[in-house]
């Protein structure tokens, strides 16, 4: 008998196809009534496959007395209650490393688009203004600027490598200092003060909630730029919106938002913001690799082999 697995949300289709072939999957996201669904399947379910903000909370775990493993499609596990999983002896896996390069590419694309205003310049051309109004306005260079990396983990290091190739100087802040050739700042305010561009690459969750607040944005100042490829929760979003409107920082490049997929409409009118719909890891190659890790962790668990990428 195939192990029974709940799909909390729909997943990258090629991944979901394999999951549904290899396991006895139940689509919770299609259930008309979640309680009835959990009453019917909950007692037999041994695995959960999840993706994105629905994650897996303690209430879901409580409804699954035989639950052994939660396999996440994504490196960030902020939507999974890790304490509840640990307390119940439930394993949690994620998909680290395979997305580092793509997410870092997106970080640099946001830095480039923010400083060089390429989206606005393209819009200038598409609107016919090049011929009618003349060349697009001058923008800002990356070379010689300082990039402050808030959260120098595996993705942060991939961002730093790229920024070096663009002629930028790297500084960083982490809870713990690392053995790297970059200058360390003891807190996010100091990092923002020393940086021209602050890029947020921390994990999400309670520990980093609103880490980038008005004090950090004040330290970044009217010539400073913010880029966020981490989680919307790490930035105080209403404060950021106000600072952008009032030009108290020069601009922001955002791939993530506090309440995805809802983006406060105030952002749409801003010329000093570059906005992406959480696409950092969204290439076919990277999503395939992420899916393969999610599948392989489930396969290994149910055949008694060590997990590839356990979180708890
Ligand atoms: C995905 C991500 O879009 O891996 C992560 O943590 O943020 C992205 O790669 C995510 O799985 C969807 O929320």
- Mutate-to-test residue for ligand 1 from 50, 52, 100, highest number of ligand atoms within 8 A of CB: 52
231 is catalytic: yes
Give the pLDDT confidence of 131-174 residue by residue, as tens digits: 999 999 999 999 999 999 999 999 999 999 999 999 999 999 99
Task: Write b or e for each residue in 20-56: b if 16 or more Cβ atoms lie within 10 A of its Cβ, otherwise e.
Answer: beebebbebeeeeeeeebbeebbeebbbbbbbbeebb
DSSP string, 46-79: -EEEEESTT-B-HHHHHT-TT--EEEEESS--TT
Mean pLDDT, to the nearest integer, of 25-30? 98
Q: Topology of domain 4-98+285-302, per CATH?
A: Rossmann fold (3.40.50)
What mean pLDDT, rounded, does the chain reach?
98
Over residues 40-58, the pLDDT tens digits come to 999 999 999 999 999 999 9
Residue 295, pLDDT above cutoff 90: yes
Q: Which of 231, 237, 287, 301 is catalytic?
A: 231
pLDDT (tens digit, 9 = 90+) per residue, 76-88?
999 999 999 999 9
pLDDT at position 172 is 98
pLDDT digits (tens, 9 = 90+) for 56-111: 999 999 999 999 999 999 999 999 999 999 999 999 999 999 999 999 999 999 99
Name the pTM for this structure: 0.97
Q: What is the reported pLDDT for 312?
A: 82
List the catalytic residue out of 162, 171, 173, 278.
278
Please indicate whether residue 278 is annotated as part of the active site: yes
* 52 CA closest ligand 1 atom index: 13
Asked if residue 285 has pLDDT above 90, the reply is yes
From 78, 101, 281, the mutation candidate for ligand 1 (largest count of ligand atoms within 8 A of CB) is 281
**Residue 282 reports pLDDT greater than 90:** yes
Distance (angstroms) between ligand 1 centre and the Cα of 94 equals 10
Pairing between strand 197-200 and 273-275? unpaired
Distance of alpha carbon 308 from alpha carbon 286, whole angstroms: 17
pLDDT at 281 over 90: yes
Residue 191 DSSP label: H
- Return the ligand 1 atom nearest residue 99 CA: 9
279 CA → ligand 1 middle, Å = 8
Q: Given this model, what pLDDT does residue 143 score?
A: 98
For ligand 1, the distance from its centroid to the CA atom of residue 114, given in whole angstroms, is 22
pLDDT at 213: 98
Per CATH, the homologous superfamily of domain 100-275 is: NAD(P)-binding Rossmann-like Domain (3.40.50.720)
SS3 state at 259: strand
Domain with CATH 3.40.50.720 in the chain: 4-98+285-302, 100-275
pLDDT at 247 exceeding the cut of 90? yes
Neighbour count for residue 262 (Cβ, 10 Å): 8
Cα 229 from Cα 198, distance rounded (Å):
11
What percent of the chain has a predicted confidence (pLDDT) above 70? 100
Q: Which of 278, 284, 288 to mutate to test the pocket of ligand 1 (most atoms within 8 A of CB)?
A: 278
């Amino acid at each position: 008998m195939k192990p029974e697995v709940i799909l909390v949300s729909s997943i990258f289709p090629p991944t979901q196809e394999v999951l549904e072939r290899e396991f006895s999957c139940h689509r919770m996201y299609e259930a008309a009534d979640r309680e009835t669904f959990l009453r019917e399947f909950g007692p037999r379910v041994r695995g959960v496959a999840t993706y994105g903000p629905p994650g897996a909370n303690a209430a879901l775990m409580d409804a699954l007395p035989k639950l052994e493993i939660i396999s996440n499609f994504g490196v960030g596990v902020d939507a999974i209650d890790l304490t509840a999983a640990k307390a119940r002896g439930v394993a949690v896996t994620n998909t680290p490393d395979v997305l580092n390069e793509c997410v870092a590419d997106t970080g640099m694309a946001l830095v480039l688009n923010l400083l060089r205003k390429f989206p606005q310049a393209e819009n200038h051309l598409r609107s016919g203004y090049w011929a009618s109004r003349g060349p697009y306005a001058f923008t800002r260079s990356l070379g010689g600027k300082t990039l402050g990396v808030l959260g120098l983990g595996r993705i942060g290091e991939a961002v730093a490598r790229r920024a070096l190739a663009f002629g930028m100087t790297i500084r960083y802040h982490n809870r713990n200092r690392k053995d790297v050739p970059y200058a360390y700042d003891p807190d996010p305010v100091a990092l923002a003060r020393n940086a021209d561009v602050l890029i947020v690459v921390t994990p999400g969750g309670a520990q980093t909630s609103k880490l980038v607040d008005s004090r950090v944005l004040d330290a970044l100042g009217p010539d400073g730029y913010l880029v966020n490829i981490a989680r919307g929760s790490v930035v105080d979003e209403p404060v950021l919106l106000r600072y952008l409107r009032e030009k108290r920082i020069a601009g922001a490049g955002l791939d993530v938002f506090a309440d995805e997929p809802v983006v406060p409409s105030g952002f749409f009118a801003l010329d000093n913001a570059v906005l992406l719909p959480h696409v950092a890891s969204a290439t076919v190659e990277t999503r395939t690799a992420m899916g393969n890790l999610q599948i392989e962790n489930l396969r290994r668990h149910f055949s008694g082999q060590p997990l590839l990428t356990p979180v708890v």
